Amino acid sequence: MRKWTRPSALLACAFFAATITGAASAQGEGDRAGVIHARTWFGWIGEEPRLESFEGQAVLLHFFVCEEPKKSNWLGMMRVQREFGDKGLQVLAITPDDAGAVEALLEVFPLPFPVGAGSGMNSGWGMGEYGQVLIDAKGVVFYRAGASNAVWDGKINKVLRNTKRLGARAHLRLTPTGEHPKKLKKALALLGEGQLAKADAALKKITTIGKDEEREAAVALREELNAHVERVMGGIRRELERGEALLARAALKELAEDLKKHPLGEAARGLLAELGADARHLEEVDAAETLAGIVDAFFRRGWEKNEDRWERLMEEHPTTHAALVTRLFWLPRPW
């Protein structure tokens, strides 16, 4: 299984500061949420997760350790993701354990949300090994508790009011740090919404008519956008290698559509066409969609009423990642 690690001096400093201040800086309900940081992220496509990356969305931080998976309420978290993921909630699982431990966990537990390894957030946020923090769309802590199953649907529904439902476009969002000239405000807003082609057009215009400072800032942002697109493409390829066909395909289609007439979209369009002609990939997508439907039915009707459907999936698509997940996770556990 592949993982994504991107060193950042700025984030490392923030991480260090959060660690040394410890529980004294723990964010309480009503406080502005603090630093989101992990050394390595699994199951993530897009810019490195920061609080600013989720502006307009609700975030559920799920703190855990890998040693005793039963205490982590993974089945409940899978249900939360499936129930609220398309309604403006972003689940982030966070652990101080290293990338190797998380990689081993994910070989058994097919978690459908990003997992951050090597994080000091448990300490910085005043959490023990297990806990949950619910953050509203304005970046304010709405609720927190020291348990893996503390946040119930009613709490989530409250923070989902007025959130942005970005869908796959969330993978395209870019939220540059630092100060920028006021003339770049529109372009920055477009980047934050994942509208990359429109943002680049706005930046390109500034490079021709703006003042020196504005032109320089616009050129720098266009370079950052270029790197961002490459990063998104890298994340898509990693998720394809992990077998996460639906996640990767959704992000790829969104990227190719946004940049459909833009040179930056050439790689996305090429990969999408390549996958469209790949019978193996199309079978992976078909099997993954079938599995997603069965899992949805499982949360509505239970395990026994879906056992035959899981077995039939393995018979029809025996070599797919969906069949492997079914064999290793779903069928051995008579939930």
- Alpha-helical runs (H) found in 1-51: 9-21
Q: Of 113, 132, 165, which residue constitutes the final position of a domain? A: 165
User: What's 132's domain CATH number?
Assistant: 3.40.30.10
Number of other CB atoms surrounding residue 188 within 10 Å: 17
Question: Which has the higher per-residue pLDDT, 178 or 284?
Answer: 284
Residue 14, pLDDT > 60, answer no
pLDDT in tens, 47-62: 999 888 898 999 999 9
Question: Cα angle at 285 between 316 and 5, to 5 degrees?
Answer: 125
23 and 141 assigned to the same domain:
yes
Number of other CB atoms surrounding residue 56 within 10 Å: 17
Average pLDDT over residues 37-55: 92
pLDDT in tens, 220-271: 999 999 999 999 999 999 999 999 999 999 999 999 999 999 999 999 999 9
Question: Which residues are 301's β-sheet partners?
Answer: none
Question: Which residues are 89's β-sheet partners?
Answer: 58
pLDDT at residue 335, as a whole number = 63
Work out the widest C-alpha separation in the chain, in whole angstroms.
67
115 and 39 assigned to the same domain:
yes
Question: What mean pLDDT is reported for the chain?
Answer: 90
Which residues fall within 8 angstroms of residue 275, CB to CB, at 6 or more apart? 249, 252, 281, 282
Band of pLDDT at residue 11, cut at 50, 70 and 90: very low
187 and 90 assigned to the same domain:
no
Decide if 251 contacts 45 (C-beta within 8 A): yes
Please provide residue 90's backbone torsions phi and psi, each rounded to the nearest 5 degrees: -110, 115
Q: Quick one: DSSP state of residue 143? A: E
265 and 300 assigned to the same domain:
no
272 and 292 assigned to the same domain:
no
126 and 174 assigned to the same domain:
no
**Residue 165 corresponds to which tokens in the numbers above?**
């439902």
pLDDT in tens, 81-131: 999 999 999 999 999 999 999 999 998 899 999 999 999 998 888 888 999
pLDDT in tens, 274-304: 999 999 999 999 999 999 999 999 999 988 8
**DSSP per residue over 229-251, as a string?**
HHHHHHHHHHHHHHT-HHHHHHH
Q: How many domains is the chain partitioned into structurally?
A: 3
**Residue 260 corresponds to which tokens in the numbers above?**
């459909």
Range 103-134 burial, b when 16+ CB lie within 10 A, else e: bebbeebbbbbbbbbbbbbbbbbbbebbbbbb
> Could you give the percent of the chain with pLDDT greater than 70?
92
25 and 107 assigned to the same domain:
yes
Average pLDDT over residues 195-223: 96
How would you class 241 by CB atoms within 10 Å of its CB: exposed for 0-12, middle for 13-18, buried for 19 or more?
exposed
186 and 315 assigned to the same domain:
no
Decide if 63 contacts 131 (C-beta within 8 A): yes
Residue 118 exposure: Cα atoms within 13 Å on the Cβ side: 16
Residue 211 lies in a domain: yes
Residue 1 lies in a domain: no
95 and 241 assigned to the same domain:
no
157 and 182 assigned to the same domain:
no
129 and 202 assigned to the same domain:
no
Average pLDDT over residues 67-78: 92
Q: Which domain holds residue 176?
A: 170-277
Q: From CA 32, how far away is CA 51, in angstroms rounded?
A: 10
Residue 126 lies in a domain: yes
Q: List Cα–Cα distances, 10 to 15, 107, 120, in angstroms.
A: 9, 31, 15
pLDDT at residue 26, as a whole number = 64
258 and 136 assigned to the same domain:
no
Q: From CA 215, how far away is CA 143, in angstroms rounded?
A: 43
